[in-house]
Structure 1
Amino acid sequence: MKQSFIYSSLSGNSGKMKTNNNGKPELSVSGKLLLILASLLVMSAFITTPVLAGTKYMTGSPELSVSIDGNNEFTPGTTVPLTILVQNSGLNQIKFVQSGIVDSDDVPNTAKMVTVTLLPGESPILVKSDPQMAGDITGSEVKPVCFEIRIPEEANAGTYALPVVLDYTYLGNSEQEGTDSIVYRYVSKKLEMELPFIIKSAINLNVTDVQAENINSGGSGFITLTLKNTGTDSGKNAIANISRIGNSPLIPVSNSVFIGEFAPGSEKTLKYKVSVAKDAEPQDYPLGISVTYENADGETITTTPQKVGVFVGADVEFTITSEKPQMNPGKKNFIEVTYRNDGSVPVYGAEVRISAVDPFTSADDLSYLGDIQPGESAVARFGLSVDETADTKIYGLDSEIKYRDALNDSHVSDTIKVPIDVVPKEGLAALLSSPVFVGLLIVIILGGGYYLYEHRRKNSKQ
């Protein structure tokens, strides 16, 4: 039988070996611990300590492209936001991983500090926005950039190419120096592309003539507009609409006129009824006009509202041109008052009413004036009575003129003061109105009567 020996240094007994019940050698507790520790040391010798690895991209660059977000068809006469999508489809094709490499902050296929510039090129559009910053665009990323553009009314229909310029930089290569630093080398690039841009055929509305009829403050009248289609499209089922602009005193009464077919180069003359606010001053005021129609594609389109100026005349005003009538206390007289139309439009069926107040009374306070053209005059006749006790001075009685305008609408003028001069009586009338004179006259008459009576009585006795 082969026998195993264990040194005393492991067994813990000098020169002696401990055996178990079967007579075989047995390790002590301390010996077992030392054996485990030795085994771990042997195993660690076969384990390799891992080393950190870095990444380096050998090839790759940005691949940028542009497109319009949504529909690329636009209507003349509009100002719209144009959103351009910038897409980076660049790939990093070779990736190298190795220990001792320091990771780079940038990767080659990232477009950095991208600036997008939109140009009109040979198209008629107006670009109202400056170049836009898009920032960094990583691989497989899409970034929107928005521009504001204006398509003029006179723009011809067709397909145009809008130049788009992309300015950016990207990581060309990087060189590691030592174990803790990297030198980056960036490349600047300018990329020019074109965007397909379609201007749809449309009506181009042009107002060639404006005529105002009886348009004055506080009244109603007609506005006649001549419209011309200077565009390239023919509008079907066209409707011309006028509209109030802001706080303009011009308020449409009938605001829509059906045109029907509105062919290129054709003119349409349309008539609208409008009312004017009472506080309007004599000057030009804006009025909006637009046309809603169906284009060749069956779409319903409304043109951009055009603004036209309409002159508003002064409110109808009447002035008294006759001299002040005179009246005596206690008398009834017919007075005549001349009214002149100082407005800019004629009035029809005018009649004037005077308001008699104390000390005046009237049984004939209404007078018919008839039709009065601007600058013409008409005479009114009133019957007035003055109280006997009225003070002698100038009074002012209110009068108002009711009339109809050219559209047969009824109006009432502002209050017009009628001056009346109440003067003392003159001559015999003045004497008869004096109590002293009347008393003296009665005394004289009675005295004369008594004298005649006595004289006849004496003659009859003789």
Structure 2
Amino acid sequence: MEITFPQKSRIAIILLLMTAVLLVVPAQAGTRFFGGSPNLTAYIAGTDQFTAGSEIQIPVVIKNTEIDDNYEVSPDIVDRADVPTTAKFVTIAMGAGNAPVTVKTDPQMIGDIPSQAQQTVVFSAKVNENAPGGTYTLPLTINFTQFSSVDQLDNMGSFRYYYVPVNMTLTVPLVIKSEVIPEIVSATSENLVAGSSGYVNLTIANTGSLDGTKATVQITQHDDSPVSPVDSSVYIGDFPAGSTVSCQYKVSVAKDAENKTYPVDVTVLYQNDEGDFISSQTKTAGVPVGNRVTFVILSPQVIMSPGSTNTIQVEYENTGDSTIYNAEARVSVVAPFSSSSAVAYIGELAPGQTAVASYEISVAQAATLKQYGLDSEIRYNSALGDTYVSDPVKVSISVENLTGIQGIISNPVYVSLIIAVLIGIIYGVIHTRRKNR
């Protein structure tokens, strides 16, 4: 069945339907902002306190604190692509300013920062070794682009946007802690040679900005350095900023050390203003080390014959870099040799000096004719009174049959016969003279 409405009823129904559509589908509204601009602030996230000589990371937070509260919303407004409170294409660079630091990070791009948003950027830096304590300011150079205005070109939604560049500088505080900073003024050594003990003398200055109290200067072995401390700590008490102190340490040196300068590490343990005990940064001192005590034999090869006994002279030279004291030289005799006096006192011997030791050596009658080497070593005291024994050196002896007068004299049988003959001749002469009286 077909239903028909009068003309006026149709118009009323159409208006009713149009009203219902308007209620269900709201008109599209746009937003127009009236002025405003980014308001950027900066601060360091986390701690802003650092120590001298340290490699540091500085996390800087850049925040746009501007609020978008000056705008209107209307159905006949078309939304713009940008708003004036957004900082676009932000680039940030950190400088050292008056701070004793070196900034290592180049300028960084961090993108857009809308209203009430923030970005964090991290800068790497190095605090100077002797940086005095205090509060410093680091400048932040910030470049960005800001929306300025817009022209509507037509009714179809075509626009032309205008932007302006902005350059601004912010600062953030940086705190460098006051502390004791040791500086090696001088490092010398006494009687310090390879394979022995000696002394290291250090002069240390406090180049920091803090007066340390109850301070102790400590030395430790540096990595695999052959110099290692025997006495590692010297208590110095108060260590004011700008003051200097001298310390002496007994150290030992490995036997394989060379004639050169080796490192030792130096640290100061002190009490700060808060009563806490703090270890300073470690500094390295160079310690001169001399050649170890060694000897060479200067005397020529000794020649002996089987069955003979000789007093041989052996000349030793001190080729090291330190004086030895109460030295005794000795020779180790093994078959076919024997000795009734294998030790000789040679006393004090400075570097480059020589001394002669005498030994009585016998060779067995059945000794093989050849060259022999007898070990000889020197037992001595260092300047500190420590006792050492040198590396062995060889006393060269050649056993061979001697000829002529030398062979007769060196053979005890021949010598005995000669003595007997001489005694007989002397006796005969005396007896003959008595008869002739």
TM bucket normalised to smaller: 0.7 to 0.9
Q: Which residue of 2 aligns with 1:349?
A: 326
Please give the TM-score of this superposition, normalised by the length of structure 2: 0.80
Contact 2:323 2:350 in 1 (8 A): yes
Contact 1:77 1:303 in 2 (8 A): no
More deviation, 182-191/266-275: 182-191
More deviation, 122-131/251-260: 122-131
| CA gap 1:181/1:371 in 2 versus in 1, 3 angstroms | farther
Which stretches in structure 2 are left out of the alignment for 5+ residues? 5-12, 418-437
Q: Which residue of 1 aligns with 2:68?
A: 92
Contact 1:102 1:176 in 2 (8 A): no
Contact 2:188 2:288 in 1 (8 A): no
Deviation at 1:185, TM superposition (A): 2.7
1:47-68 per-position Cα deviation (integer Å, ceiling 9, x unaligned): 4273773643514432111112
- Structure 1: which 4+ aligned runs deviate by more than 6 Å? 40-43, 431-434
Deviation at 1:328, TM superposition (A): 1.0
Provide the secondary structure at the position in 1 that maps to 2:142.
Answer: strand
Deviation at 1:281, TM superposition (A): 1.6
1:79-103 per-position Cα deviation (integer Å, ceiling 9, x unaligned): 4322222122122224555557665
Which residue of 66, 76, 97 maps to 1:121?
A: 97
Deviation at 1:330, TM superposition (A): 1.9
| CA gap 1:277/1:129 in 2 versus in 1, 3 angstroms | farther
Q: Which residue of 2 aligns with 1:3?
A: none
Confirm whether residue 277 of structure 1 aligns to residue 254 of structure 2. Answer: yes
Provide the secondary structure at the position in 2 that maps to 1:48.
Answer: helix
Deviation at 1:314, TM superposition (A): 0.9
Distance in 1 between the 2:408 and 2:382 partners? 52
Q: Which residue of 2 aligns with 1:219?
A: 196
1:237-257 per-position Cα deviation (integer Å, ceiling 9, x unaligned): 111122332332222222221
Corresponding letter in the other structure for 1:235: G
More deviation, 373-382/256-265: 373-382
| CA gap 1:417/1:100 in 2 versus in 1, 3 angstroms | farther
Q: Which residue of 1 aligns with 2:302?
A: 325
Provide the secondary structure at the position in 2 that maps to 1:70.
Answer: coil
Please give the TM-score of this superposition, normalised by the length of structure 1: 0.76
Deviation at 1:343, TM superposition (A): 0.7
Confirm whether residue 165 of structure 1 aligns to residue 141 of structure 2. Answer: yes
Q: Which residue of 2 aligns with 1:293?
A: 270
| CA gap 1:335/1:217 in 2 versus in 1, 3 angstroms | same
Distance in 2 between the 1:362 and 1:262 partners? 63
Distance in 1 between the 2:373 and 2:43 partners? 80
Contact 1:164 1:195 in 2 (8 A): yes
Provide the secondary structure at the position in 2 that maps to 1:293.
Answer: strand
Distance in 1 between the 2:18 and 2:244 partners? 102
1:374-433 per-position Cα deviation (integer Å, ceiling 9, x unaligned): 222233333333233434443222223233323333333223121112232233684799
* Percent identity for Structure 1 against Structure 2: 38
1:256-297 per-position Cα deviation (integer Å, ceiling 9, x unaligned): 211111123432111011122222221122222222222334
Contact 2:323 2:382 in 1 (8 A): yes
Distance in 2 between the 1:414 and 1:186 partners? 86
Deviation at 1:313, TM superposition (A): 0.6
| CA gap 1:297/1:427 in 2 versus in 1, 3 angstroms | same
1:136-174 per-position Cα deviation (integer Å, ceiling 9, x unaligned): 333333333222333334444443332221112233344
Distance in 2 between the 1:190 and 1:350 partners? 82
Distance in 2 between the 1:340 and 1:409 partners? 21
Which residue of 365, 370, 384 maps to 1:388?
A: 365
1:108-127 per-position Cα deviation (integer Å, ceiling 9, x unaligned): 43323322222222333333
Contact 1:163 1:195 in 2 (8 A): yes
| CA gap 1:175/1:353 in 2 versus in 1, 3 angstroms | farther
| CA gap 1:277/1:137 in 2 versus in 1, 3 angstroms | farther
1:436-461 per-position Cα deviation (integer Å, ceiling 9, x unaligned): xx9xx9xxxxxxxxxxxxxxxxxxxx
Q: Which residue of 2 aligns with 1:183?
A: 160
Q: Which residue of 2 aligns with 1:374?
A: 351
1:21-32 → structure 2 map (5 Å cutoff):
none
How much is the aligned-residue C-alpha RMSD, in angstroms?
3.4
Distance in 2 between the 1:160 and 1:400 partners? 66
Q: Which has the larger radius of gyration?
A: 1
Q: Which residue of 1 aligns with 2:314?
A: 337
| CA gap 1:346/1:57 in 2 versus in 1, 3 angstroms | farther
Corresponding letter in the other structure for 2:184: V
Distance in 1 between the 2:75 and 2:64 partners? 31
Deviation at 1:335, TM superposition (A): 2.0
Confirm whether residue 241 of structure 1 aligns to residue 218 of structure 2. Answer: yes
1:203-239 per-position Cα deviation (integer Å, ceiling 9, x unaligned): 3433322220111112211101112234443111111
Which stretches in structure 1 are left out of the alignment for 5+ residues? 1-8, 12-30, 32-39, 442-462
Confirm whether residue 58 of structure 1 aligns to residue 58 of structure 2. Answer: no
Say how many residue pairs are matched. 402
| CA gap 1:63/1:396 in 2 versus in 1, 3 angstroms | same
Corresponding letter in the other structure for 1:272: Y
| CA gap 1:387/1:189 in 2 versus in 1, 3 angstroms | same
Provide the secondary structure at the position in 2 that maps to 1:272.
Answer: strand
